[in-house]
Amino acid sequence: MARLVMKFGGTSVADLDLIRRAAERVQAEVEAGNEVAVVVSAMGSETNRLVKLTGEISPLYDTREYDVVVSAGEQVSAGLIAIALQDLGVAARSWLGWQIPFYTDDLHGSARIDRIETDEIVRRLSQGQVAVVAGFQGLGSDNRITTLGRGGSDTSAVALASALEADRCDIYTDVEGVFTADPRIVTSAAKLDKITYEEMLELASLGATVLQTRSVEMAMKHGVRLQVLSSFVEQPGTLVVDEDEIVEQRVVSGVTYSNDDAKITLRHVSDRPGVAAGIFGPLADANVVVDMIVQNVSEDGKSTDLTFTVERDQLDRAVEVLRSIEDQIGAAVITPDPNVVKVSIVGVGMRSHAGVAQAMFHALAEKNINIQVISTSEIKISVLIAADYTELAVRALHSAFKLDDVVALT
């Protein structure tokens, strides 16, 4: 017997037939003798509908009221899944964030979970009752509903698994697991049986949308064994685990890409102390997040060129800020470019292997792909390239690091 948390995302409960199928997956685990808590997202695009209503009634909405509106989606799906389980003869009841409660801080719209009261749920699990928990929502100190930010149901599930000391937290979604690359781009991409928390964290923040970044952080911190698997196909997914559970570590576990960035180049910036602070200070003040930065000395030796990336939907704001400080930063030419993509390779094996960056640059050069900016961490290397080359680059890197053969390896 194990204690499981099963989380179903919006695509897994998008209509009543899918809700019944999800209930059948839960029934199978219950009949196998497991204690099960279910965490559920809103049906399909319901959260988007509610978010849109809120923004349309007033762009300057009160986030406390936003939370009241958007949390209604999970309330509906939790009730429906409880009914579907009962219909299959499985004892079940729904739990809303305020009923358990999931205590959070008061940062409405992107609250963090402080503590989960589990006594009553544990008592009922031990009696064989399935707890169907509305994801994404909690209770603030003011007795008002909070929500955890988009994708927050993953975090709800991991936090509940941690609080319940569950044996595993299964994240049911519309893909079969974590792949070596996006299978829509790389036909030979393979599902990974296991991946480390660190790798998953990098992949999640670098464009893989399969898990919310914060949920992976939390799973790593509390040692929650995560599994990402499909609600449509009955087979094991990808286990996210500690590094020491993976016997043979690959140098590179996956290739990913993100369209979320835009590039800004400033040419002929006066090359004097403090100029970088004079540029990035005002951007930070305007809440523009700057990611990759590269600075070159210009040919004339008196000025410098500066290239950096910002979130794509902040590009206009960033350019506006830069134009407003044009005088202070010298006669800079501001060149915004949204047509870039960040391609990354991720793997814990990089730590112990030299030459990974060199191999990456070589593989891209062979395809005549120009690298615009580079950034690295201990277990990942990201490069910014022209967006047109996205697929070509991902495929080249997938081959270069022998990920085409990963099925044989695992």
Could you list the residues that contact its own copies (CB under 8 A)? Answer: 16, 19-20, 50, 53-54, 56-58, 60-62, 64-69, 71-73, 75-76, 78-80, 82-84, 86-87, 93-94, 96, 98-99, 143-145
What stretches of 322-395 adopt beta strand conformation (E)?
Answer: 333-337, 340-346, 373-377, 380-386
Helix (H) or strand (E) holding 175: none
Nearer to its own copies, 93 or 168 (CB): 93
Direct distance between the N- and C-terminal alpha carbons of the chain, in angstroms, rounded to an integer: 27
With respect to its own copies, which residue has the nearer C-beta, 11 or 375? 11
Q: Which is nearer to its own copies, 95 or 179 (CB)?
A: 95
Phi, psi of 39 (to 5 degrees): -120, 135
Find out whether the peptide bond into 236 is cis, omega within 30 degrees of 0.
no
Dmax (CA) of the chain: 78
> At its nearest, how many Å lie between its own copies and the CB of residue 96?
7
Residue 146 sits at φ, ψ, to 5 deg, of -115, 160
Residue with smaller CB distance to its own copies, 78 or 175: 78
Least separation in angstroms between CB 48 and its own copies: 14
Structure tokens at 2: 């194990």
Q: What is the rounded CA–CA span in Å between residue 174 and residue 256?
A: 18
Shortest reach from residue 23's CB to its own copies, in Å: 9
Rank residues 34 and 94 by Cβ distance to its own copies and give the closer one. 94
Beta strands at 35-40 and 130-134: parallel, antiparallel or unpaired: parallel
The whole-angstrom separation of Cα 409 and Cα 249 is 10
**Distance in Å, CB of 3 to its own copies, minimum:** 23
- Distance CA(30)–CA(2), nearest Å, equals 10
**Hunting for tokens 């402080």 — which residue is that?**
114
> Least distance (Å) from its own copies to the CB of residue 107?
17
Q: Could you tell me the smallest distance in angstroms from the CB atom of residue 130 to its own copies? A: 12
Shortest Å, Cβ 323 to its own copies? 31
- Cβ atoms 323, 279 nearer than 8 A: no
Please, which residue, 143 or 235, has the CB nearer to its own copies? 143
75 versus 270: smaller Cβ distance to its own copies:
75
